A and B are shown apart, each in its own frame.
Chain A
Amino acid sequence: MKVVRARTIADALSALRDAGPDARILAGGTDLMVEMESGRTRPDLVVDVWKLDALRGIRATVRGLEIGALTSCSDLLRSGEARTHADILVEAARQVGAVQIQNRATLGGNLGTASPAADLNPVLFALGARVVLASARGERDMPVEEFVRGYRDTARAHDEMITRIDIPRRHPDERRAFRKVGTRRAQSIAKVVVALSLRFDGENVSTVRAAAGSVADRTLLLNTLGTLRGRPLPRGSDLTRACTHAVATDTSPRDDVRSTAEYRRFVLARLLERMLRDLAPTETASMS
């Protein structure tokens, strides 16, 4: 195993270009260090990018937020820009691990690892974020939902590195919600994690983007909720049915050591319903 301690982005990119597919990028180490210690991963090359301060930071532009890939959860928690423009991302960051992990866990790492239980990724999906990838060949970007292709599988080519995540500017009418259900109240891995972005045009739902984690082999958008668009939010049991239907259609949860498929479906549907109701212009109906 070889190690590259990258001093510049160019260092890292040239190392990745020269390496094979068995190279791993090391940032905060919350995943990779554990995997290497247990022997589950033995990469040929480790590219340590932790010192690349150019990849840290949160910048507000006219288009939205540009967040460097090495930006940690703690950086998000400290950032006024993030609180203003990406409130639910900050909320999600607050629920990652605990302080020590928040200091190490990076936005790029969360996305690049593409764990189905990642806490931050559903937020990026719901907010319509794009991921910027750099390589010695150049730069490209794509929507995060295209980037995440499967279980810990992404569209990143082996010579590429995530450098930035762009979050579009918040629409003044946009309403958002986030919720994580974990195995306990801190330092936990999600049983279900859900993020929602919603806009109304008068009474009618104009956009709805909901994303969930830990309910399939990857983070996913709940596209079926799109049927809510163009009409007022359904009332009472109609909304319950719409949420249950979306969960049944879009997700494929499994039983694992943390929870059951049945519970995950149940909770996701209930949380979606709760969030939609909470975000509706006026409280329409009471929950049954």
Chain B
Amino acid sequence: MARYVGSNVERPEGRAKVTGRAQYVSDLHVSGAWFGGTVRSQVARGTLRGFDFAVGFDRSSVVIVAPEDVPGENVQALIEDDQPILCARDIRHHGEPLLLVAAPDLRTLERALTSIVPRIDPLDPLFDMEHSREVFESVAIDKGEVDAAFEHAQGNGHVVLEGTYHTDSQEQLYIEPQGCIAWPPQSDGTIVVKGSLQCPHYVRKALARCFGGTPERMRVVQMETGGGFGGKEEYPSVVACHAALLAMKCKHPVRLIYDRHEDLAVTPKRHPSRVHHRTIVDRDGKLIALDIDVLFDGGAYTTLSPVVLSRGCIHAAGPYRCDNVRIRGRVVATNHVPYGAFRGFGAPQTCFAIERTMDRIARALSIHPFELRRRNMLRAGDTTATGQRLVHSVGSVEVMDAIARESGIDRHPWCVPRDGGNARKSRGLGLSFFFHGAGFTGSGEAMLKGRVRVELLPDGRVEVLAGSTEIGQGTNAMFLAIAAETLGCETSDVVIATPDTARVPDSGPTVASRTCMVVGGCLKDACCELAARVGGEALYSWRERALEFLQGGGDGRVVVTYESPSGLVWDDETYTGDAYPVYGWAADVAEVEVDSDTLEVEVKRFWTAVDVGKAIQPQLVAGQIEGGSLQAVGWSHLEVISTREGRFEQDRMATCIIPTTLDTPRFDVTLVEVPYPHGPFGAKGVGELPMDGGAPAVASAIEDAILVHVDRVPATPERLMRALDERSAASSGTKTGVRA
């Protein structure tokens, strides 16, 4: 019987967190450390001509790093090599790093940063993604005969609908800003960086390119990390390279810790999107064809945009059956600060568009949104837009049953004008249904070959070593539960190693809803092997058996490399096949109240039913789902990110708004467990899934409350006011609602 899997173990790092003893990077006291800072472009596009130094500024009081000081390549190693570590000439975005400065104290640093003024010839920037001709990546997904379907739509008596949906950017707003501390190279060339980060091995790779050394010479240590949500996937490589360059040149350790303003101004955020849908349905609401055009603003450099676009496009048709699908996606260059990874990774944008499309169909055909989704949803045996036949762990029916049972959405008359025109508040309910692929796309995991090591310590305890990071989501506790369960030991017999690239194997980045399913799976296999080796009778404690095994000269070190389940086929050229080994499934219902005077939206309740395969740690997974759902709820109506001349306008915590306790609905989380045979104990990925459905659910609820079609998030009161104006201007077109 399971002791730890399915019950709740205490976070191993939890006690340190609640007592304030946990060491985040800025808590680290490093004697003799200097302070690092960055001289940045104040224009969005231009040619750098040089620098002016303020009169009286003593250049010898600081150490300055320029592009020519980069010993290796002046390239931020990621997907493409287009982004320099320091821009030498062609400035592509506001805030682009031009020089680095280190000083022995903060006051000297601040004086230096205001005394060095870049001389830039400005050029015309491009901000409108619709007008960009520079395409970072395009994606095409084709299934069936879309053109033929449109040709015959009228003759077949089908209905054709069209809609354009926009989503704005979103800030991750981890509460701990970015930061790294770097040490000068050791005599053997080893460079040590400690920081707030999600992916130590990414940072290691970036440092190796920057310094022209081998990755093994680069030692990256993750400190306790105050949230990431994707925001600490790629950007810590920038901070780490900068800090390490400064440390190399000034020959002191260097603290490069961003304040909130700098963090908000220059770090990557969610890609803004425009998604156009052309849809054919028959009179019963059955999807006949989906023609989807996806456009993402990538900002000034490629960063992770191609992968974000890929995931966005693969999820663009939603969890629905449709024989004819065409998806065209592009992510293009603009002179915005580069956009990057944020929980959901392109899927929240396309999910918003397909879910709003489903509601549009529901209203046009007077079919209840719940019923419409039931009719079209993918079930086991169906194929997705990429032609993937769904075999394992398809929880669509289960989550839809659960959400109906819990919220009563299936009995709620949707978008039916209600009495009480004088009411101060209008109430509404809205539904979304969605899925999210777990792990890397296609052959990603097979190529990555993530590794996990377990090792018997001399005292008989077992150490778990992986590059996967604890960033709040519960990696440590999840590892602890899987290891102790599999080994048949106590949780106190298991130690989780700090992610330090000098010690831990590369288990792959902590992204893509993969840590539990992929890395946890490897850990389970490793523990199985170790338990088999140690053997012995369960009569004796794990420690007794382990010590006996060690004394007998046993090899207590097991390394497991991930192997994809057999039979998965993916073609990167045609975008066909098994995009992901398995999907998480979920349905959300939001209840809102819209203030009739101010059009402020309050999300009162939020139901979510989520198929996680198996909840290794039910409390952690529910906490993840609540947190992700609130990020989605925030994005849906109050988290505004806008730019002016390529600058983020919300560059302070006072203006960059996220929900407080009072903006938070009451959550009702229902965990559904449809086990995935290739995941540890049946578990599959869940990290990103809760980000996908909140925005369309809230949008649908607003539509139910005030009868305007919300086609853009965030649905701020300012936008709702405009939408109401437009509706009354075209009041003849008001459609009737749907009774259950």
Whether, in the assembled complex, B688 has its beta carbon less than 8 Å from a beta carbon of chain A, the answer is: no
- Can you show 16 pairs from A to B with CB atoms below 8 A apart? A184-B659, A184-B660, A185-B660, A186-B662, A188-B657, A258-B655, A260-B718, A262-B718, A262-B721, A263-B717, A263-B721, A270-B597, A270-B598, A271-B597, A274-B597, A286-B422
With A184-B663, A257-B649 already in contact, 4 other A-B pairs whose C-beta atoms are closer than 8 Å = A184-B660, A186-B662, A189-B655, A260-B718
Are A98 and B597 in contact (CB-based, < 8 A)? Answer: no
B21 interface contact, C-beta 8 A: no
Within 132-174 of A, Cβ neighbours of B (below 8 Å) are at none
Name the interface size band of chain A.
Answer: 20 to 34
Majority secondary structure, A binding face? loop
Q: B2 in the interface, Cβ–Cβ < 8 Å?
A: no
**A183 sits at the interface (CB 8 A):** yes
- Measured between beta carbons, the chain A residues less than 8 angstroms from B638 are 183-184
| Closest Cβ neighbor of B654 among chain A residues | A189
B261, B598, B662: most-surrounded residue (chain A CB, <10 A): B598
In the complex, A257→B716 CA distance in Å? 13
Q: Are the CB atoms of A267 and B261 closer together than 8 Å?
A: no
CA distance A274 to B422 in the complex (A): 11
* Listed residue (A98, A184, A260) with the most chain B CB atoms within 10 angstroms of its CB: A184
Instruction: Kindly state the separation between the CA atoms of A10 and B642 in the bound complex, as whole angstroms.
Output: 48
| Residue from B110, B422, B657, B662 in contact with A39 in the complex, judged by beta carbons closer than 8 Å | B110
The yes or no answer to B60 lying at the interface (CB within 8 A) is no
> Chain B residues near A184 (CB, 8 Å)?
638, 657, 659-660, 662-663
Return A235 CB to nearest CB of chain B, in Å: 14
Residues of B in contact with A (beta carbons under 8 Å apart): 110, 114, 261, 421-422, 424, 596-600, 602, 638, 640, 642, 649-650, 654-655, 657, 659-663, 717-718, 721
Minimal beta-carbon separation of A31 from chain B (angstroms): 11
When distances are taken between beta carbons in the complex, the residues of chain B under 8 Å from A263 are 717-718, 721
Q: Are B597 and A185 in contact (CB-based, < 8 A)?
A: no
Contacting pair A259 B718 (CB below 8 A): yes
Which of A186, A271, A286 counts the most chain B CB atoms within 10 A? A186
Q: How many A-B Cβ pairs are below 8 Å?
A: 57
Asked if A36 is at the interface of the complex by the 8 Å CB criterion, the answer is no
Kindly identify which residue among A39, A187, A257, A286 contacts B660, using a CB–CB cutoff of 8 Å.
A187
Q: Once the chains are docked, how many angstroms separate the CA of A184 from the CA of B114?
A: 34
A186: which B residues are within 8 A, CB to CB?
A: 660-663
CA distance A263 to B102 in the complex (A): 46
Look across to chain B and name the residue whose beta carbon is closest to the beta carbon of A187: B660
CA A189 to CA B640, docked complex, whole Å: 14
Q: Which residues of B contact A271 (CB under 8 A)?
A: 597-598
Bound: A7/B661 CA distance, A:
39
Task: Please name the residue on chain A nearest to B602 by beta carbon.
Answer: A185
Bound complex: CA of A98 vs CA of B654, how far in Å? 13
> CB of A287 within 8 A of chain B?
yes
Shortest beta-carbon distance, A106 to chain B, in Å?
A: 19
Say yes or no: B598 contacts A257, CB within 8 Å.
no
- Which residue on B lies nearest to A275, using beta carbons? B597
Nearest-neighbour CB distance to chain A for B90, whole angstroms, equals 30
Chain A contacts for B660, CB-based, 8 A: 98, 184-187
> Does A185 lie within 8 Å of B662, measured CB to CB?
yes
